[in-house]
Amino acid sequence: MNQSPNQIRGGKASFAAGTDVISIKPHHFVDILTALGGGHMNPEPHPYGHALHRVTRQILDNRDIRLRIELGADDICRPCRHNVNGQCDDTIDTSFRPAAPKSKEAWNLLIDTRWCERLILRQGDTLTARQLCERIREHAGDITDIYREIPAARTAEKQTRLQQGIATFLQDHQKAGN
């Protein structure tokens, strides 16, 4: 089977701007919506070299782009300097979340697994960005148990921005339906 570089798990393949399917971790999509809810429509390139800014732009430009759920290195991770042979070697600040794993890869897998359970998703499932956003709107509920290692006040703020981001993301769809 032929796979584009962005569909191959692991490695440092760069994000293919013209791809018809974006490989994405559930929490990365949630982070995009949360940033959108905080008014951040145009993220800037990050010093780590990941592709969050490019993937965000592609999703915001086409709400119906197809997304493939990925629990490993996704299209955001692939060009990151911390992606070493498909594994994240970065660590997280555990000072405010001491129960969280120090490994960013272990932390991401933990919260992505929780998101998958909540949203009834599995590795490899494919749906549009709009469909995933609608699913989050319908099933997210109270996210404190997904982010239980994070202080409740931070999670409450994330929840508010997530809800605002969902509304903003789906706004054009609601206008079109009226």
Task: Name the DSSP class of 128.
Answer: E
Convert the pLDDT of each residue in 36-86 to its tens digit.
Answer: 999 988 889 999 999 999 999 999 999 999 999 999 999 999 999 999 999
User: Strands 87-88 and 83-84, how do they pair?
Assistant: antiparallel
Catalogue the E-assigned strands of the chain. Answer: 21-24, 66-69, 83-84, 87-88, 126-128
> How far is residue 135's CA from residue 114's CA, in Å, rounded to a whole number?
14
Q: Look up the pTM and report it.
A: 0.86
Cβ 55 vs Cβ 35: under 8 Å? no
Nearest to 118 by CA among 96, 98, 135, 99: 135
Convert the pLDDT of each residue in 122-150 to its tens digit.
Answer: 999 999 999 999 999 999 999 999 999 99
Cβ 138 vs Cβ 53: under 8 Å? no
- Domain spans, the chain: 5-171
